[in-house]
Amino acid sequence: MSETTNPPTNFIRQIIDEDLRSGKRTNVATRFPPEPNGYLHIGHAKSIVLNFGIAEDYNGTCNLRFDDTNPGKENMEFVEAIQRDVKWLGYSWDERLYYASNYFQNLYEFALELIKNGKAYVCELNAEQTREYRGTLKEPGKDSPYRSRSVAENLDLFEKMKSGEFEDGTKVLRAKIDMTSPNINMRDPVLYRIRHGVIHHQTGAEWCIYPMYDYTHPISDALEGITHSLCTLEFEDHRPFYDWVLDNISVGCHPQQIEFSRLNLEYTVMSKRKLTQLVSEGFVNGWDDPRMPTLAGIRRRGYTPAAMKLFCQRIGITKSEGIVEMELLENCVREDLNIIAPRRMAVLDPLKVVITNYPADQVEQLTLPNHPQDESMGTRLVPFCNEIYIEQEDFLEEANKKYKRLVKGDCVRLRNAYIIQCDEVVKDDYDNIVEIHCSYIPDSIGSNPEGIKPRGVIHWVSARHGVVAEVRLYDRLFAVAAPDAMANKEDKAFTDYLSPDSLHTLTHCVVEPSLTDAQPGDSYQFERQAYFCADLDHGNGKVVFNRTVTLRDTWAKIEQKGR
């Protein structure tokens, strides 16, 4: 699905090109460093494609490293899910799977080095006092009363912290930098805090002090020989501390941190905290709910790795913050599925049609193409008999000439089958149409007999051979394009803007019998309907499909009508 044989350039690639040209770097080594405290989302896909893509294009390496410094919110479920997501996008880290916890001993020893060099101290201010002493964006901070402790005292206290002699929150290790710095991140940031009673998924109960992310990250990069540490713009103000850490310890590598804009997408949220809230409070059915922007969710919905890579290529890499239209993502999905998805017929709201002049005991196996533009996909056999289903919306008793479907007294073509004419309408006691009787025109497959001009073409499924299916019509999770901004503006919770129409479950659909052989994740275009994929629940007697994306952007029409 790539649009060009050469990847588009961007400011990061230009930096790397210059580094290699000038001899500043002789290789390229990147890393994707997620925190295992939730599932990855579409925003992470941008970082994955960037980091692994650059490594591939420059014959370099890209590590997968879990920044696992907060064990209270991390677990192996998230670790395993992240690995699945990276593999799904088509990338491999080979043997380069790391954890920040691999370096806990190194990090501890570097902290001792900082203390010995008068660059770190043990502080006993509580959280409220620490905030007070830190100052504000307009006012400088002031020194902690514990800042002048001797090296010997700091070493003794830090060792006792490590030995578990102090309670949580009573002491932290802080860098000694500058409490008057205009960059608040440089006002003696915390390096270590005490955490008792948590079991780390890698180190167990070995440690009761844990390093902070901003301290851990640059050291992990350096120990792995990373050349270019690529991160999103919210870390731009943290870069001075990144450099300070590496400049003040005896490590032989100093990666270059480069920031780019994060991905903000319409009709969703990208905050892990908010995504966790959606899951924990039951607004969605788990991390892999197809309405979620998680990679697990979009994979279950039927999005493809090729579509995600195309999307990342089209949005590009810049330093400009903005919000990406959902239509761009959905169009990338449509483009890919239009090429790779076999066609099938499915009736979502069935109306029974009895073909009165077709032999009741006859069944034809019609040969239908799997893809109208790709003969290499082959054909399939679809049964046809005297009883079929069509969509309720494909029939009206009366209609003007603009209506291109079946009308009483007129004819229509069944896709890849015969022309039929409606002769009679059967209604119940409440005047609801329950069945229509039609006649078919023999020898009309593939041609229009003289004097007959069908209104249009509609899809169908054999009533005797079709399979009852559950079809889940997924749509955008939120009813407004910017739920965070709207919640802030109107002083509401972001969950107040969840769309009540994000999921409609249809349980009486009828699909081609061949779809029972679909495997979870298989994608199809249900002709004249949308793109669908077999859900994880599909199989073992259950036929379940998720709508991936409509055939065209229906939201544009909705929004236009609202203007």
5 occurs within a structural domain: no
Give yes or no for residue 241 having a pLDDT over 80.
yes
pLDDT on residue 559: 44
Rounded to whole angstroms, how far apart are CA atoms 74 and 193? Answer: 17
Q: Express each pLDDT in 110-166 by its tens digit.
A: 999 999 999 999 999 999 999 999 999 999 999 999 999 999 999 999 999 999 999
184 occurs within a structural domain: yes
Tokens found for residue 241: 């501390």
Closest CA to 212 of 241, 180, 236: 241
Give yes or no for residue 560 having a pLDDT over 70.
no
Same domain, 321 and 172: no
CB 225, CB 257: distance < 8 Å: no
Same domain, 93 and 194: yes
Quickly state the pLDDT bin for 561 (edges 50, 70, 90).
Answer: very low
CATH number of the domain that 437 lies in?
A: 2.40.240.10
265 occurs within a structural domain: no
Same domain, 142 and 27: yes
Tokens found for residue 379: 């054909």
* Residues annotated as part of the active site: 35, 262, 272
CB 7, CB 52: distance < 8 Å: no
CB 269, CB 296: distance < 8 Å: no
Give yes or no for residue 94 having a pLDDT over 90.
yes
Burial class (CB in 10 A: 0-12, 13-18, 19+), 252: exposed
Calculated CA dihedral for residues 233, 235, 241, 247, nearest 10 degrees = -70
Quickly state the pLDDT bin for 562 (edges 50, 70, 90).
Answer: very low
Tokens found for residue 243: 């450099």
212 occurs within a structural domain: yes
Output the DSSP codes for 81-122: HHHHHHHHTT---TT-EEEGGGGHHHHHHHHHHHHHTTSEEE
Quickly state the pLDDT bin for 217 (edges 50, 70, 90).
Answer: very high
Rounded to whole angstroms, how far apart are CA atoms 67 and 214? Answer: 10
355 occurs within a structural domain: yes
CB 231, CB 41: distance < 8 Å: no
Q: Among residues 260, 290, 324, which one ends one of the domains?
A: 260
Q: Which residue in the block uniquely carries the two structure tokens 């788990």?
A: 286
CB 477, CB 298: distance < 8 Å: no
| Interior angle at CA 178, CA 176 and CA 184, nearest 5 | 110
Output the DSSP codes for 138-198: SS-----TTTT--HHHHHHHHHHHHHT-S-TTS-EEEE-S-TT-SSGGGSS-EEEEE--S-
Same domain, 298 and 373: no
Our count of domains for the chain comes to 3
Determine phi and psi for 73, rounding to 5 degrees: -115, 5
- Reported residue count of the chain is 563
**What percent of the chain lies above the pLDDT cut of 90?**
94
Same domain, 446 and 473: no
CATH number of the domain that 204 lies in?
A: 3.40.50.620
pLDDT on residue 555: 58
Closest CA to 285 of 534, 68, 502: 502
Pairwise pLDDT comparison (556 vs 37), residue with the higher score: 37
Q: Express each pLDDT in 198-207 by its tens digit.
A: 999 999 999 9
Burial class (CB in 10 A: 0-12, 13-18, 19+), 217: buried
Q: Among residues 449, 464, 479, which one ends one of the domains?
A: 464
Classify the phi-psi angles of 480: left when phi > 0, otherwise alpha if psi is within -120 to 50, otherwise beta.
beta
The alpha-helical segments, DSSP class H, found in 256-376 are: 272-280, 295-301, 305-315, 326-340
Same domain, 227 and 279: no
Rounded to whole angstroms, how far apart are CA atoms 464 and 513? Answer: 10
| Count of helices and strands (H, E) across the chain | 14, 27
Same domain, 459 and 482: no
Q: Among residues 464, 484, 513, which one ends one of the domains?
A: 464
72 occurs within a structural domain: yes
Q: CB neighbours (10 Å) of residue 397?
A: 12
418 occurs within a structural domain: yes
The alpha-helical segments, DSSP class H, found in 519-562 are: 554-562
Q: Express each pLDDT in 462-487 by its tens digit.
A: 999 999 999 999 999 999 999 999 99
Quickly state the pLDDT bin for 556 (edges 50, 70, 90).
Answer: low
Quickly state the pLDDT bin for 1 (edges 50, 70, 90).
Answer: very low
Same domain, 315 and 416: no
* Range 530-556 average pLDDT: 91
Same domain, 228 and 317: no
346 occurs within a structural domain: no
* Range 447-474 average pLDDT: 95
Q: Collect all residues with Cβ–Cβ distance below 8 Å to 332 and sequence separation of at least 6.
A: 1, 307, 308, 310, 311, 314
Summary mean pLDDT of the chain: 95
Q: Is the dihedral of CA 71, 72, 77, 78 positive or negative?
A: negative
CB 11, CB 318: distance < 8 Å: yes
Same domain, 83 and 162: yes
The alpha-helical segments, DSSP class H, found in 224-325 are: 239-247, 272-280, 295-301, 305-315
Q: For residue 352, what is the enclosing H or E element?
A: strand 350-355
Same domain, 225 and 279: no
Determine phi and psi for 223, rounding to 5 degrees: -65, -25
Q: Which residue in the block uniquely carries the two structure tokens 């860098």?
A: 175
pLDDT on residue 4: 46
Quickly state the pLDDT bin for 255 (edges 50, 70, 90).
Answer: very high
Structural domain range at position 178: 11-260
Same domain, 189 and 334: no
pLDDT on residue 540: 85
CB 411, CB 441: distance < 8 Å: yes
- Strands 503-511 and 467-474 turn out to be antiparallel
